[in-house]
């Protein structure tokens, strides 16, 4: 559909009069151009307005469609390329630099603001920075943007696009570190594990069947044989998410402490720190929001969820602690879309696509879900 045709169809679907249609078309055209049309998983030839028109048709009444539209207009949060780039650009000066300056200041017993005033501490900072590794936990880490933003400050030999690298690569990293620092005993002091978003903390760290799982446990297993040769005894693992929920920020710290107490320093990282570019407020989930538009959408999200579809009823969603995926993984209830993908912690009616069932085969009829922002699935 062309843009103008899609707008006319949308007006018919919503039952808008001319005055309302003119007002909404201005907003839709503006937001589509500025933000929503950049979503990476729209189908070919489809952009936001076309997707919105299709999505709204799954709601049966005009009243429900108005509630769904009000949710999109007033509640939905879309993190586009500009916002994500800003979070990436702030990561080094706002997080990494401050952490390293604090370490140098403590080591040399000087105030943090004097680190740059003394050649000795300035040199110590530069050496400590070189002893820092940056590792991406997914494509969402945006390490290409990170390297570009910090060209001349962070070298390519300090950046790994994934946690899994072979022994030869690890040897090369250590050899280059020692050669540049002119120190045959140099090791890595800080490791930054970087990801784009944490909605519940479950993917990063969780306990299942008396064992610890998740990205942090996987990284610990990956470097198990390298801890004595490649890393400082006081290694600090810094975990940075560009974006996280208030819930996840608390869960990550709590579960790390539990794992450390259970496994001990010999089987877990004793020094782990969590930082975030932005932490979404506690009232961000729609089932906690004070906004009327959010509260009204909770019932729609539950009613129009095809709970029996394999996409929304599988072992991965069960790990989130709920059998009902209507409010998203682990009942996240988020009204959130990221420009490269929609988190599964967001309400399922935003991103799920299911065939439904008309009940003709004797089974109960099931609603066919149509996504507004189609999600690229990583778990089936």
Contact 343, 197 (CB under 8 A): yes
* Residue 14 structure tokens: 């919503």
CA 141 to chain centre: 9
* Residue 354 structure tokens: 């299911």
Contacts of 374 (CB under 8 A, 6+ apart): 41, 42, 43, 342, 351, 353
At 1, the pLDDT band (50, 70, 90 cuts) reads very low
pLDDT digits (tens, 9 = 90+) for 123-152: 999 999 999 999 999 988 999 999 999 999
Residue 58 in 3-state DSSP? coil
pLDDT at residue 164, rounded to an integer:
86
pLDDT at residue 367, rounded to an integer:
83
Q: Cα dihedral sign for 261, 223, 94, 35?
A: negative
Tell me the C-alpha distance between 14 and 8, whole Å: 10
Answer whether residue 379 shows pLDDT above 80: no
Answer whether residue 34 shows pLDDT above 80: yes
Instruction: Give the residue extent of every domain in the chain.
Output: 3-79+290-351, 81-280
pLDDT at residue 360, rounded to an integer:
67
pLDDT digits (tens, 9 = 90+) for 147-189: 999 999 999 999 999 888 899 999 999 999 999 999 999 999 9
Answer whether residue 320 shows pLDDT above 70: no
Q: Kindly state the percentage of the chain with pLDDT values over 70.
A: 94
DSSP 245: E
Query: What does the DSSP assignment read for 171-201?
Result: HHHHHHHHHHHT-TT--EEEEEEEEEEESSS
């Amino acid at each position: 559909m062309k843009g103008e045709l899609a707008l006319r169809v949308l007006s018919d679907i919503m039952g808008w009069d001319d005055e309302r249609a003119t007002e909404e078309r201005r907003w839709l055209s503006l937001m589509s151009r500025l933000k929503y049309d950049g979503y990476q998983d729209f189908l070919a030839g489809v952009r936001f307005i076309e997707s919105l028109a299709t999505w709204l048709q799954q709601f049966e009444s005009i009243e429900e469609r108005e509630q769904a539209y009000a949710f999109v207009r007033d509640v939905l949060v879309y993190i586009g390329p500009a916002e994500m780039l800003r979070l990436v650009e702030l990561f080094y000066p706002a997080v990494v630099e401050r952490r390293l300056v604090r370490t140098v200041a403590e080591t040399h017993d000087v105030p943090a603001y004097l680190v740059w005033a003394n050649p000795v501490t300035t040199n110590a900072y530069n050496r400590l920075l070189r002893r820092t590794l940056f590792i991406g936990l997914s494509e969402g880490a945006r390490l290409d943007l990170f390297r570009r933003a910090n060209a001349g400050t962070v070298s390519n030999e300090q950046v790994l696009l994934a946690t899994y690298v072979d022994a030869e690569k690890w040897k090369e990293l250590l050899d280059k570190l020692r050669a540049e620092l002119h120190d045959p005993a140099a090791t890595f002091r800080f490791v930054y594990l970087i990801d784009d978003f944490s909605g519940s903390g479950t993917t990063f760290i969780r306990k299942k069947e008396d064992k610890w799982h998740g990205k942090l446990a996987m990284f610990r297993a990956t470097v198990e044989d390298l801890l004595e040769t490649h890393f400082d005894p006081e290694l600090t693992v810094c975990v940075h998410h560009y974006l996280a929920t208030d819930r996840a920020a608390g869960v990550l710290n709590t579960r790390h402490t539990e794992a450390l107490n259970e496994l001990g320093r010999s089987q877990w990282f004793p020094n782990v720190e969590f930082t975030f570019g932005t932490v979404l407020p506690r009232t961000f989930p729609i089932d906690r929001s004070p906004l009327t538009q959010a509260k009204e959408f909770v019932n729609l999200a539950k009613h129009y969820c095809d709970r029996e579809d394999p996409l929304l009823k599988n072992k991965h969603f069960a790990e989130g602690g709920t059998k009902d995926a209507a409010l998203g993984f682990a009942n996240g209830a988020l009204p959130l879309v990221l420009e490269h993908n929609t988190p599964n912690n967001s309400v399922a009616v935003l991103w799920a696509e299911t065939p439904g069932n008309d009940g003709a085969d004797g089974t109960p009829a099931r609603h066919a879900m149509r996504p507004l922002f189609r999600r690229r699935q990583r778990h089936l």
